Every structure is written in structure tokens, then in C-alpha cells.
Amino acid sequence: MPFTNDQVEILYFQDISNAHEIADCIHQRNLPAAVMDGATFLHVFQFGVAAQIALLHARRGKLVTHDVYSEIVFCLSARKNVREAFATFGFQSSSRNAVVVLVNPDADTKESVMKKIAAAKVLETNEDMAQFSDKEYLMQLYQVEPQELDQSNLLDSIVTRISTRVAL
């Protein structure tokens, strides 16, 4: 899937106890990662696609947001409204779980991010992360009708919406 030579690592943090501190770090741009609300997770592929689109935007000098990490959050949205994307997908002080996307992480960067987030568990495989998916919420979020799933699956429907927003 990579369109760039960048390495993307995706982690899922469960039962975060310092959400207010994490939200503050994000707002102050003191966290070298994209941090999204865990409720928006279906599959690592969805976040990998958003990361690759954001990295292409960065390479082309076409970022809509201020950096590649915020661009990843924006690229998850099926709409072009930045504020709406952050309100919907971004990590909030009320979030309990988080999806974290690291780009070209070295050991120190990953360790630094992991130390800042106080969570009961850190999941690193899609199989572990997928058990926390709320498919009904995601269908509503991406406006996927049940009839559409007769011809496709939810992941394909979400990725199509993410990808076509960029092309429009």
C-alpha cells in the first residue's frame, strides 16, 4: 500500500487515564504523532490510507493543516471541513481510547509518545484493535447505509469515502 517510502506505525491505547494531558499536548503540538479518538477505529488500513494521503500532501507542499500529523486526522474525514474533522476524529479530553499514528518513528520518538499516554493497554496488531470497533457508529459517521454492505464491506466503504474526498 505505501505510496511513499515512509514507515507508518499504528498503535491503539485502551483505557487512557490522562486524556486531559494528552489533549493539551496535542493542542500545544508537543506530541510527535497523530492521535485520534479510538471510537473511529475499524482497521489499521483505514489509518494507513489516511497517513499515506497526508504524506503525499506533505511531499507536494499541499497540506491543508499545519503539519503531517494533523493532516492524518483531517484525511480520515469524508468531508473537507477541517474543524469538523478534528471534532469528529481528533482525540478529545473525554476520549477513553486512542489510535496513534507515528511516521518514521525512531525508538526514542515511540518511547516518548508511549510514556506520555497513560493507558491500561497498548495494542499493536489489527486483530487486537478490531475488537473495539463500533461498526454502527462508523456507519453513521461515514454515512454508510446497510444496503451498501450487501455489495461491499464497511472497510471498503470507509476507505472509498476517505479516498474520494481527496480526489474531489
Does 128 have pLDDT greater than 80? no
* DSSP-derived secondary structure letter, 154: H
Stretch 10-27: mean pLDDT: 95
20 within some domain: yes
2 within some domain: no
Q: Which domain holds residue 77?
A: 8-167
Residue count (the chain): 168
Does 103 have pLDDT greater than 60? yes
1 within some domain: no
31 within some domain: yes
Mean pLDDT (the chain) is: 91
Number of structural domains in the chain: 1
Stretch 70-89: mean pLDDT: 94
C-alpha to C-alpha distance for 76 and 49, rounded to whole angstroms: 8
3 within some domain: no
132 within some domain: yes
Q: Are 39 and 135 in contact (CB under 8 A)?
A: no
- Residue 20 is part of a domain; what is its CATH number? 3.30.2380.10
Does 168 have pLDDT greater than 50? no
Closest CA to 94 of 1, 8, 20: 20
Closest CA to 32 of 105, 84, 82: 105
70 within some domain: yes
133 within some domain: yes
Grade residue 4 by pLDDT with cuts at 50, 70 and 90.
low
